Amino acid sequence: MSHLLRRHPTHSRRPRSRFASPSILWGGGIVLFFVLLALFAGPLTALTGNDPYSEHRSLLGPRSVPLGFGGGISPSHWFGVTPLRGVDLFSIIAYGTRVSLGIGLASTLISVVIGVAIGLIAGYFPGVTDAILSRTMDVFFGFPFLIFAIALSAIVPDSFPRPLLLILVLGFFGWPSIARLIRGQTLTLTHRGYTSAAQVMGASSTHILLNEIMPGLLPLLIVRLTLSIPGRIAAEASLSFLGVGINPPTPSWGRTISDAVAWALVDPMYLIFPGLALFLVTFGFNLLGDGLSDALDPKAVIRAEMTETAETSKTTATESSTRNSAPAVVQQGGNR
C-alpha cells in the first residue's frame, strides 16, 4: 500500500523482488490461511470431534453462559462454545469460511463474465452500443444494492437456497466496476499499433478482442478482482447480520455476529472471534490487491484509475477529461 509510486532505481527491477513485497506476502498469507481453513474445515474440526451443529449444553453454566475462560476455550473447543446452545465456535468459524469465500469467489466469477463481455463490447464498439451499455453500467453502479438485496429476500421463496441467491445477486450487481475498467482499457488498447495491425490484416473483432486486447488488460483485471472480493464477503456478512442472508443452521460469520450481540457483555469472545475472522479475511484480500497493484507498474494503475474516471462521470463526454472516479477500493458492498 504505502509503496505505491515509490521511485524505483532506473534498472534492476527484477520481477521476483517486486512480487515479494510485504503487502503481497502478508495479504497472500492471510488469504491462503483462510482458503486452507475453508478446504480443510472438515478434517480440522474432526480433530476435536466437533461439528457446527451439535450442542454441548453440559459446558454451559447458569443462564446458559459458557463456563470457563474466554467463552469456554479448551483443548477440545479451541474458540469456546456459543452461549445458549453450546455449539463449538471454531467449527462455526471454519465452516463459515466456506460460505464466505464460496459466495465471494462464485459471485466474482459471474461478475467477471458479465463485466468483461460488456466492457469489451462497449469499449470496442463506440457510438450507440457504447452509450447504451455505459448508461446501464451507471445505473447499476449507483443502484442501492444493499437495499434491493434486503427487499428481494422478502419475496424469494424459502425453498430457494440462500447461498445461491446471494451469489446471483452479488454477481449480478458486481459487474459494473469490472466492465468500466475493461471498457476504459479497451478504448486505450484499441488504438495501439498491434491492434491496428491486426485489424489491417483482416482479423475478426472477436479475434482482436480475445487475442490482442484481453492479454493487455489481464493484470489490471486480476488486481480489480482481488480488490472486489472483500466487498462481496462483507456484503454477505452484512445481509446475514441483518437476518436476510444465510439462514440457520448453515454457519455464517455475519449471522454469528448478530447472534452474539445479545451476549456481548457476558461472553465477548462470541462476538470477537467471528468479527476478527471477517476483518482478517477482508484485510488480507485488500492487502494482497494493493500489493499486486503496486507490483504492476504503479503509474499504469494510477493512470487506469484516472482514465476510468472519465467513464464514471455519468455523462462525460471526451476521453480527455480524465476526471471522476470511484476506484476499486471503494467497492465495499456492505459497509454502510
Choices 57-65, 172-180, 199-207, 271-279 (CB under 8 A): range interacting with other proteins: 271-279
Residue 58 or 315 having the CB closest to other proteins: 315
Ranges within 247-266 binding other proteins (CB under 8 A): 257, 261, 264-265
Distance of closest approach, residue 296 Cβ to other proteins, in angstroms: 14
Distance of closest approach, residue 128 Cβ to other proteins, in angstroms: 10
Distance of closest approach, residue 212 Cβ to other proteins, in angstroms: 27
Ranges within 284-303 binding other proteins (CB under 8 A): 286-287, 290, 302-303
Residue of the chain from 107, 153, 177, 240 that contacts other proteins (CB under 8 A): 153
216 lies in the binding site for other proteins (CB under 8 A): no
Ranges within 314-333 binding other proteins (CB under 8 A): 314-318, 320-321, 323-327, 329-330, 332
242 lies in the binding site for other proteins (CB under 8 A): yes
Quote the radius of gyration of the chain (alpha carbons, Å). Answer: 23
Distance of closest approach, residue 294 Cβ to other proteins, in angstroms: 11
109 lies in the binding site for other proteins (CB under 8 A): no
Residue of the chain from 143, 194, 197, 210 that contacts other proteins (CB under 8 A): 143
Residue 58 or 320 having the CB closest to other proteins: 320
Residue 154 or 201 having the CB closest to other proteins: 154
Residues whose CB is less than 8 angstroms from the CB of residue 61 and which lie 6 or more positions away in sequence, other chains included:
67
50 lies in the binding site for other proteins (CB under 8 A): no
> Which amino acid is it at 64?
S
Residue of the chain from 244, 266, 296, 311 that contacts other proteins (CB under 8 A): 244
The three cell numbers of residue 316 are 462525460
Cis peptide before 248 (omega within 30 of 0): no
Largest CA distance in the chain: 81
Q: If you search the block for the grid coordinates 464477503, which residue do you land on?
A: 233
17 lies in the binding site for other proteins (CB under 8 A): no
Question: DSSP characters for 102-161?
Answer: HHHHHHHHHHHHHHHHHHHHHHHSTTHHHHHHHHHHHHHHHS-HHHHHHHHHHHS-TTS-
309 lies in the binding site for other proteins (CB under 8 A): yes
Residue 246 or 287 having the CB closest to other proteins: 287
CB atoms within 10 A of CB 12: 7
129 lies in the binding site for other proteins (CB under 8 A): no
Choices 35-43, 169-177, 213-221, 235-243 (CB under 8 A): range interacting with other proteins: 235-243
Q: Where are the alpha helices (DSSP H) in the chain?
A: 15-18, 22-39, 41-47, 89-124, 128-142, 145-155, 162-173, 176-190, 193-200, 205-207, 214-241, 253-260, 268-295, 298-312
CA distance 269 to 254: 15
| Signed CA dihedral, 286, 287, 288, 293: sign only | positive
CA distance 156 to 172: 16
CB atoms within 10 A of CB 251: 26
148 lies in the binding site for other proteins (CB under 8 A): yes
Residue 99 or 234 having the CB closest to other proteins: 234
CA distance 27 to 30: 5
Cβ pair 296, 220 in contact under 8 A = yes
Site size toward other proteins, by CB under 8 A = 70
CA distance 295 to 285: 15
Per CB under 8 A, residues contacting other proteins are 1-2, 4-6, 131, 135, 138-139, 141-144, 146-148, 150-155, 157, 230, 234, 237-238, 241-244, 257, 261, 264-265, 268, 271, 275, 278-279, 282-283, 286-287, 290, 302-303, 305-306, 309, 312-318, 320-321, 323-327, 329-330, 332, 334-336
